[in-house]
């Protein structure tokens, strides 16, 4: 009987405590879901920030690539030969012959091979000529070099195989 009297006496307080406990349990579950949702959003945010930086890097590389692509356009063989001749004169190298060969096409670029026979007074002038070729705005790639020293004239006889490269549009 005592317990029934106790329950009747404190019935409102017991119900209030039970409601408070249920409310705390529900609010705790809601809080846990919100925290996990926030963590998920933070991870997505971090992933998106990383993706944005990767996209920005790709954009920068694409801009540089397009700048190089503008430089690597197909030019007339005569213009290329004149450019090579000018570089040879500036370097103190004498061109004996230039022989353009047939172009070699790839899916994304075209190679225009040339065979040059030159004479150079010394290694320094030859090195200056090759340096000018490879640092030219036109893209030249020295593919091969054969050197002989002329005993009578003390000059270097050099055969160069080089390619002028252009992108295919």
Report yes or no: 96 and 117 within 8 Å, Cβ to Cβ: yes
Q: What DSSP state is assigned to residue 107?
A: S
**pTM above the 0.75 mark?**
no
| Residue-wise pLDDT tens digits, 15-61 | 889 999 999 999 999 999 999 999 999 999 999 999 999 999 999 99
Report yes or no: 63 and 121 within 8 Å, Cβ to Cβ: no
Q: What DSSP state is assigned to residue 102?
A: -
Nearest Cα to Cα of residue 118 among 145, 142, 79, 141: 145
């Amino acid at each position: 009987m005592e317990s029934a009297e106790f329950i009747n006496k404190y019935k409102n307080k017991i119900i209030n405590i039970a409601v408070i406990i249920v409310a705390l349990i529900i609010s705790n579950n809601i809080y846990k879901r919100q925290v996990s949702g926030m963590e998920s959003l933070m991870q997505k945010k971090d992933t998106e920030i990383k993706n944005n930086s990767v996209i920005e890097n790709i954009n920068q590389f694409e801009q540089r690539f397009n700048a190089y692509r503008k430089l690597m356009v197909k030019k007339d063989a005569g213009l290329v030969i004149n450019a090579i001749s000018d570089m040879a004169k500036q370097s103190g190298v004498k061109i004996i012959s230039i022989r353009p060969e047939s172009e070699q096409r790839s899916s994304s670029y075209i190679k225009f091979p040339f065979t040059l026979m030159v004479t150079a007074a010394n290694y320094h002038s030859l090195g200056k000529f090759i340096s000018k070729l490879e640092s030219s705005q036109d893209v030249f790639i020295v593919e091969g070099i054969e050197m002989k020293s002329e005993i009578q004239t003390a000059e270097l006889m050099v055969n160069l195989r080089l390619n002028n490269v252009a992108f295919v549009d």
